Amino acid sequence: MKVSEARDYYHGLLERHLDSTVELLHRGSLENGLYFGSRSVCTVLRPYFIDRETYAFVKRASELVMRAVARLGELLLTEAELRRELDLEPQEEAVALIPSGFGNPDVSARLDGFLAPEGEFYFVEYNAESPGGLAYGDVLAEIFMQMPVMKEFCDRYKCSIFPVRERVYENLIAAYHRWGGHDLPNIAIVDWSGVSTYSEFVLMKKRFEERGCKVVICDPDELEYRNGRLYREDFCIDLVYKRVIIGELLTRKGIDHPIFQAARDRAVCVSNGMGVQMLYKKAMFALLSDPVFSAQLGLDDELAAACNKYIPWTRKLRSCKTKYGDKEVDLVEFTFENKERLVLKPNGEYGGKGVVLGWEASDELWKDTVKEALDGASYLVQERVPLGRDIYPSYIDGKLVFDERYVDIDPYVWNGTQIEGAGIRLSKLALLNVSAGGGSATPLVVLE
C-alpha cells in the first residue's frame, strides 16, 4: 500500500467534509484545552499516516537504540568517569544517583526522530524527562476518528491509533507497584503554575481519576515533606507524576526541595525517576556516537550497528581530535569549516532553546556559539540529517490551503525499552518544536 495514495484519497474526501472537519477540530480543541497557552496545538486537518510495515521498522529501530541507551544508563550509575562526560553540576549528579526504586527511570519518554524520504531514520535527541504532548496527541486522535471525513476514509483503509493516556497510567501504576506501593496511589501531577501545558495535566488528571485514583495538580512550592510523607496541604501523596524539569527545580529551589528529600528517603514514588537527569543530557548521544566511548559500553554488534545507523555523528564540542568517518579531524576546526552540515545544541536545554542550525545561521552567530562552548559552556555538535516532508491541509482565512511541512516522528518509550505509539510534529521551519511556537502537532494513524 502506498501512503501517498491514501493521503490523496483523504484530501479528496476533505473537500467534501471541510466544514465538519474544521468545526469538530475547533470544538474538540476548545472542549479539551488543546492549546499551548492561547495557541492551538493542532492547526492542520489531517493525521499523519504511516503504513504498518514502516511503523514496524520505526519501532524496531527505536527498540535497538533504546537497548543501547538502557545499557548506557546502567553504566552511568557506576562509572564516575563516564558521568563526567555529561557535564552534570554537582547537585544534578547527586540527584541523578537517587534510585528510582522501580528499575529504569524513564517510565514514559520520547525519542525525537526523522524519517527521511529515502527511508533513512535518525534519532537526534532523547526526551527522558516525562515529555509533554502525550495527552494532546491522544485526544487529537480521538477527535479525528469521530470526524465524517475519517469515518468515510476508514471504509477503505483500516486505521489504528494508540491509547497513549492509558499507557501513561498503566506504566505509572506498574512503576509504583514495583517501587513497593500497594493498591491505587494518591497522585500529584507536579509542574510550575502557569506553564503552557497545564491543560494537558487536566486531561491526565481526568484519566487517572476515571481509573479510581485521587489526583491533584500542584506547583513545587505547594509541596511539604513532614512526618516522613510528602503532602500538598492535607493531601498525602504516594506517587508524583513529575512534569517539572529536574534541572529547573534544582536551579530554582535547590537540592533540599521536598520532592528530592522524599525521593531520597523512599517516602514517595517519583516518575520519571531522578536518574533521567543523566539521560536528559544531550551529551548522551555523543557517548553513543563516539567510538572512543561506545566501545566502553560493551554493546554487541547489533546494538553498535544500530547506534551507528540511526544516531547521527555527534560529539561534545571541545578542543580535541576525533573521527569523522575514516578520517581523524580537529573537532573545532572541522566545526568551523562545515557549518552547512552541522547543528550546535546546548547540552542541558530543551524545547529547541539555543539550537543553532549551521545552514541557517550567520557566520558571526556560528563563531560566537563555538567560542561560547570553548569558553566553558557545554555544547554538542551534530551532523545535519535529512528531514521528511509532506503536504498538509489547513484552514486559513476561510479557505482550504495545502502546504509542505517538515515532519518529525517521535516514538514513545515505555519503561526504558518498550516502544508503542509516537508523537508527530509539523513545521514550515527546519527547527521543529510545537511548544516553542514552531508548528503543529497531529495524531499518528497506522494504516493496515
Q: Looking at the structure, tell me whether residues 326 and 350 fall in a common domain.
A: yes
Q: Looking at the structure, tell me whether residues 271 and 240 fall in a common domain.
A: yes
Distance from C-alpha of 188 to C-alpha of 239, rounded to nearest angstrom: 6
Nearest residue to 59 (alpha-carbon basis) of 416, 421, 308, 389:
421
Q: Looking at the structure, tell me whether residues 112 and 257 fall in a common domain.
A: yes
Report the chain's terminal Cα–Cα distance, integer Å: 9
Domain boundary residue among 335, 354, 383? 383
Q: Looking at the structure, tell me whether residues 379 and 434 fall in a common domain.
A: no
Burial of 301 (0-12, 13-18, 19+ CB in 10 A): exposed
CATH of the domain at 177: 3.40.50.1760
- Report the percent of the chain where pLDDT is more than 70: 98
Domain boundary residue among 356, 383, 410? 383
Burial of 194 (0-12, 13-18, 19+ CB in 10 A): exposed
Range of the domain at 370: 313-383
SS3 57: helix
CATH of the domain at 319: 3.30.1490
C-alpha radius of gyration, the chain, whole number: 22
Residue 23 phi/psi, 5-degree rounding, is: -65, -45
- Band the pLDDT of 1: cuts 50, 70, 90: low
Q: Looking at the structure, tell me whether residues 371 and 412 fall in a common domain.
A: no
Assess if residue 19 is contained within a domain: yes
Q: Looking at the structure, tell me whether residues 231 and 371 fall in a common domain.
A: no
pLDDT in tens, 313-357: 999 999 999 999 999 999 999 999 999 999 999 998 877 789 999
In the predicted model, is pLDDT for residue 433 greater than 80? no
Assess if residue 265 is contained within a domain: yes
Distance from C-alpha of 19 to C-alpha of 24, rounded to nearest angstrom: 9
Q: What is the mean pLDDT of the chain?
A: 94
Distance from C-alpha of 98 to C-alpha of 275, rounded to nearest angstrom: 7
Q: What is the mean pLDDT of residues 154-163?
A: 97
* Cβ-contact 97, 302 below 8 angstroms: no
Q: Looking at the structure, tell me whether residues 325 and 244 fall in a common domain.
A: no
Return the pLDDT at 348.
Answer: 85
The one-letter code for the residue type at 282 is: K
Q: What is the mean pLDDT of residues 223-245?
A: 97
Distance from C-alpha of 355 to C-alpha of 429, rounded to nearest angstrom: 13
- Report the percent of the chain where pLDDT is more than 90: 89
Q: What is the mean pLDDT of residues 68-97?
A: 95
Q: Looking at the structure, tell me whether residues 371 and 264 fall in a common domain.
A: no
Q: Domain total for the chain?
A: 2
* Cβ-contact 167, 420 below 8 angstroms: yes
Q: Looking at the structure, tell me whether residues 403 and 379 fall in a common domain.
A: no
Assess if residue 296 is contained within a domain: no
Assess if residue 292 is contained within a domain: no
Within 10 A of 121 (CB to CB), how many other CB atoms are there? 21
Cα 149–chain centre separation: 30
Cβ-Cβ contacts under 8 Å for 202 (sequence gap 6 or more): 33, 217
Return the pLDDT at 431.
Answer: 58
Q: Looking at the structure, tell me whether residues 169 and 223 fall in a common domain.
A: yes
pLDDT in tens, 371-414: 999 998 999 999 999 999 999 999 999 999 999 999 999 999 99
Return the pLDDT at 436.
Answer: 43
- Band the pLDDT of 38: cuts 50, 70, 90: confident
- Band the pLDDT of 292: cuts 50, 70, 90: confident
**Beta bridge pairs of residue 225:** 230
Return the pLDDT at 429.
Answer: 80
Domain boundary residue among 361, 383, 405? 383
Q: What is the mean pLDDT of residues 296-302?
A: 90
Q: Looking at the structure, tell me whether residues 359 and 429 fall in a common domain.
A: no
Assess if residue 285 is contained within a domain: no
Assess if residue 75 is contained within a domain: yes
Q: Cell numbers of 239, please?
A: 506517587
Return the pLDDT at 164.
Answer: 97
The per-type count for the chain, helices as H runs and strands as E runs, is: 17, 24
pLDDT in tens, 67-77: 999 999 999 99
Q: Looking at the structure, tell me whether residues 241 and 137 fall in a common domain.
A: yes
Assess if residue 298 is contained within a domain: no
Q: What is the mean pLDDT of residues 71-88?
A: 95
Assess if residue 87 is contained within a domain: yes
Residue 129 phi/psi, 5-degree rounding, is: -90, 85
Distance from C-alpha of 163 to C-alpha of 401, rounded to nearest angstrom: 30
**Higher local confidence (pLDDT), 36 or 67:** 67
pLDDT in tens, 106-142: 999 999 999 988 888 999 999 998 788 999 999 999 9
- Band the pLDDT of 439: cuts 50, 70, 90: confident
